Structure 1
Amino acid sequence: MVLNEKGNKVTNYVLGPYIEGDVISLTCIATGGLPIPKVTWWQENALLDDSSENLSNNTVRNILHMEKLQRKHFHTILTCQASNNDFVAPISTSMRLDLNYKTSSIVAVQGNVAKLPCDITPSFSADKIHIVIWFKEDNEGRLMKPIYTFDSRDNSVLEQGKHWSDELILGDRAYFRFYEDPAKLTINNVLLKDEGFYNCRVDFKQSPTRNSRLNLTVIVPPSSVMVLNEKGNKVTNYVLGPYIEGDVISLTCIATGGLPIPKVTWWQENALLDDSSENLSNNTVRNILHMEKLQRKHFHTILTCQASNNDFVAPISTSMRLDLNLPPLTANLVGEEFPVSAGKLYQLQCEIVGSQPLVKITWWKGHVNVVDAHEKNSDDGNVTISTLTFMPTAEDEGKYVSCNAENPTIPNSALVSGRKLTVLHSPLLTLNLGKNLNNKIKEGSDIYFDCNIKANPWVYKISWKHNDKMLNSNTAKGVIINNQSLVLQNVRRDKTGSYLCVANNEEGEGESNSIHLEIEYSPTCRSKKPAIHEATLNETLEIKCELDASPKEFEFIWTFNNSAGFQQYLSLHRNASAVIYTIKSENDYGTLFCKGINPIGDQEEPCMINVLPRSKLDVLINCTISTESNQSLNVVCTHRLDPDRKHSFIAEVYEFGTDNLLRNLTSTKSSFIIYGLNPGLQIEIKIYIMTEAGSSKAIHLNAVIPRWENLAASPLNFSITPTLAITVSIVVVLVLLSIGLLAITRYRLCKRRKMETNYNEENSLKTKIDDNDVDGDTNTFTIKEEMNPDVVPLATNIKLPNSRSTFQQQPYKSYIHLKDVDDIQVERPLLHPQYINPHPKLVHYNANRMPPYIRAMHPRFAPAGTMPVVHEDQGYSMDAFRPLLTNRISRMPMVALPTQQLTATQL
């Protein structure tokens, strides 16, 4: 027999019903039996309690205590057994524990996911789930037909169970997640119609069926919120205002929709400002926010209106920025005050703090607006720095430079910051002529100047200039300087020119304006010496009368006087500064006089121009051309000059056959080097002498610049071998022996020269080679007069025209001051005899004085029409050539003339 906690006998084999959390106490009593039986409590197949006790009257009892019944105890089977042997089955009684479990509340937000839990854990591990059925109650609490099932009766594992859902109620939005703990029926995109009570029934293979009940509540969030300003207008662009400091604002936030009814609140940043919402009709809620006396701290603050009716999803809200127009708080020039120098660039910075929106900044220098400024704003826009770049001038001294900061949206909000400029500058000077004076002064007058100075700091030096030259005080010469004043006494014409004053201070130097002073005087001759003009009979001269005067408004008087005492007044040329004068007879030679008259007066002494017969001196005799180097020529002329005159030599270089002037050279010597001419260019050179009496007759020369690209010697490539080294050693020994022999020979020659000296001095020869005397038929040439300088050709390979032979030549150099031809150092150019057509202007006449390897040999050693050039060390004797020469030319200088205009002849 089983008694419940109230002592009542349990009937119908049902315990309860109890509810979750209850504590129960069940007593099982067994009567009779020998020996005394043992009483035990079992839950399903599990032993719960075996602590039985013996009572009187041959009875035994066992009291079972179960605390805090749980959902898992629902419909569990409790059994009481009594047994005193192992031979027969114990007697027992079983009963079902009935449990009324609590209804679980589930909340889901419309549109989200609802998760309905269901305990599907079997009472013992050997059991398994057959089927899970979900029901939804109707409005009267009655179960409807199943809306979802999970059937695993035909499968050994749950993963193979079959899912089914009602298409009308759940469609494909639901799924039973049996693998979660606890298992859940998830409903996606929850709708308001999904709200209600749900039952989950779980049937096991062995355990009793288990039921659970859930209440699903679906929350519908508010649909929208809207903010109205104090004028009832909807706030757009999420910006409130702009307002100004001290304004009072009233903002209304209205929320629409939502189940349950939402609550509307106002927030500033993260701080709650107002939660006093009120419900209105048409399913709306509102909250009115009042803010009095807006302050600078409210600038750009974020105000948010929220509407919420649950804690599961974020509230819907709208935020806006509170915009304020604020005046600038401060405006300050940055940096210390300091003097500035004129003409240098400086920067002034003005810092403005606190203006919203951005401040308008203007710069002023005195009453003039300055625009050369740029601005930079801080990231938050609260600070603006304006930088003015300016170059002060002396006129800015003492001016007030300032920056003006103003918020154009707020009247009377301007702030000004500035400072007075101290400008250091170099002196500024203004030169003035004394009162009652102008810049045209007659000789003998007194003049004074005033120099006005503006400078900071003041000047430490004042000076005066006349025609850019420093002017010093000299009372004896009538120049008196007294600081800022200049006095010129009894001025003469040399005082004509520009005057200015100069002052210096620590900032630099300043110059005044220039005043040009014109000293007026009567005409005088420009040259103190009489002019000379030379002319031949019937030659026409243009004779100029060159005068100095101020003003230059002349009248001219011309007269003529010759050696015969004839004087003539040339009235025809009274107003002319030049006359055309023709020498028709000897009587026309004489002296011309010219005299000028201007408004100041007549010329005191006339100018003299002597007209003389043209001199037979100052002539060019001959000019020669030699090649100096690639692209240049050397021109040397002989001449006859008048030693009492100054001379200039002029060379004009033209492209041949044209008037194209290539060079115009002037020299005090009768030689020129003409540079920069292109190889192969044919030119014409005009050379003449220029004196004060005119120019001489010109000499014309023609030349062609040689091409040098084929004249360079080819480099030798060789390597040093033992055989070559031995050979070189032998050659060195032979050279040393030759030098000894050469010294002996030189000694003998010196003795012979002394014997010939007296005779040679009496018969010195003057030579001049005349092209017209060359006669190819007679194989002779004539030596007329020595007009050319002594030159020696340096070694360079040159090929003669119409010849296959070559000889060695380089540009000519003068050796006129050498004592002996043997002093000339000439590099040995040839390694074997070469035959050339002898050119009379390339022949060395003093063969005794020539280096051995360029001596001309006797014609018998050469083919007809040629002359061999043979090395003496090859066995040829100089005695073979001596009959051709005489002792009369033993001291004659060597002559080598260019070949440009000459033809070769036989010796």
Structure 2
Amino acid sequence: MKFDPVQPIPTRAKARGDGVRVSDFPIFESHLPWALPNLSPRAEGRSRLKYYSIAKVRREKRSCVHGYGSAHDSESDTSLVEVVAGYNTSLPCAIQSPLHDAPVLTLWYIGADDTPVYSYDQRSGVSGESWADPEVFEGRAHYLAHLNPPAMLIMRTTVSDAHVYRCRVDFHNSNSRVAWVRLRVIVPPSRVEIATHVSSVMPGQRDDVVCTAIGGDPPPSVVWMQNGKVVDPNSTVGERGTFNSLEVAATREDLNFPFTCKATNNDVTTPVFAIYYRNVTCGPTSVRIEASESPLVEGREAELTCTAVGSNPPAHITWYQQGKTIEDLINEYWCGLHCAITLVLKGNIRQQDHWNVYFYIPPSRVEIATHVSSVMPGQRDDVVCTAIGGDPAPSVVWMQNGKVVDPNSTVGERGTFNSLEVAATREDLNFPFTCKATNNDVTTPVFAIYYRNVTCGPTSVRIEASESPLVEGREAELTCTAVGSNPPAHITWYQQGKTIEDLFVNVTRQDNLTVSVLSLIPGRRHHGRQLLCRAENPSLPLATMEDMISLNVAYRPVARLEVGWPQRPDLMTEGSDLYLECIVDANPLPYKVNFFHNGKEMVHNETAGVEVRTAMTTYTVALQTVTRRNSGEYQCLASNVEGDSYSANLTINIKY
């Protein structure tokens, strides 16, 4: 198979697996990169890609093994790109063009494979044409020639995209050059699992619990945290996943500060985590007896209170009188880490004819009952918190962000209750309410948390494009993000005032965030059109927000050559003047426009009566005092970063 160096690569010849060899492409054997291994570009320092910040790029050393049955041990710099699965990334082709030369063809390979998986043609007449192996990238690969260095964009990366890629650039006159890029696709762990060996732990004991991260590639780090600090960073990769056995010795403080197991293998996605409440067995830290009065008075009722603090499980208290227990008069009561038992003495204390024991009984729990499923801003009395049990009747308070916001409780038939009187606001979505109930300062209050579901409209809406400018014929994504709405906002796309079908839209909703991704293949007809994204909460029609973007689509030129003078070019005779104008439709504007006469480029020469003007947006050529030699075919060629375009031939006949 042979290719004409000035023709685009045939579509079928590009398909993977059809036996195409590198030698089939328009280069010479002496241009092969391994003939000059020292030409590979030196690495730049560690950097982040300009447009896809989730992809990290760094350089590593590798031993290059090339195709054609030969292997060389020369050292070459390889860019390492890391990306989280599902995100976009760019693979840089870090090759610098030689002086006074320009690239004509860029090819991408997987490793040392002989068959390319992507090509970008920069030759005159076909500049900007690209091809990608549909079995490899499934339409997700695009070449960003305008970047420095140029890069291949891979959208929505998958695990199967992880390879060592080889970028080869062919030049007009110089030898080909090669750059290597390793793409590592990171798969975050899916969850963490906590497994305990024992139900309770003695002080000083270790290894009572193991936290295992399920999934993740590369293996994630699994750390134990307590009170906001890492206390055990030592994880191990096992058969089932990465695990960390808690090596921190158990102490009494663990009862107040639970442990958090976190696992992650990147700095993009949120770590997965689980909380472990360590059940440490502890004895009481203090025991104290207090009398209701001192001294006690004969014949007058008195109370003696014994308070034991710090025991887990709660301490058992026994009363003794003169060395003998009085447990028959006491009903046991378990009351948490802080236990207070009151002994009430009645009658003649000296004769001790009657003993009674009374308890301060804390509330057993609190129950939250809501009147409505969602609350409008400013609404009150949407929830009631009731303390069950407790003698004497406990106080029930509502707290938010560590402060008491409603202390007003009422004693009812079922228990003490507090109806939340605080007006609902958007901030309630970030700061839940806590209902606490207690009737003493010894035991821990019982509590429950209430997450107020406040209906709110969006606070911001923004449209972002996957690249700028968009490129004609290349798939692009426009993302509209609405923040702050509860429930998540409904997003509608409009183009020139008309709604866009949901067929081209992918929507995800989470918490108060809605992300709508519009997929389209832009054309020159889309350039300058306005796209509008409208986010609205159906419950709050007046809280609608919008964002608008004018599409900037880059496309290759379309050139048309016209006669500006004379008005009747078919009647031209020798000695008259000829004025030609090249009408160009292009974005961006062409960086050069050339005129040709019978295939030969026309050069500005006032002495010869040829004036070529290509300033600003006017592209003209003026011929003064024409002769029969000026007859023939005229063309103009317009070039921009997206490619080149010739006009149709314009035939001029000079009569003589």
Alignment TM-score, normalising by the size of structure 1: 0.26
User: Max radius of gyration: which structure?
Assistant: 1
Alignment TM-score, normalising by the size of structure 2: 0.35
**Higher relative contact order (Cα pairs below 8 Å, separated by 6+ residues):** 2
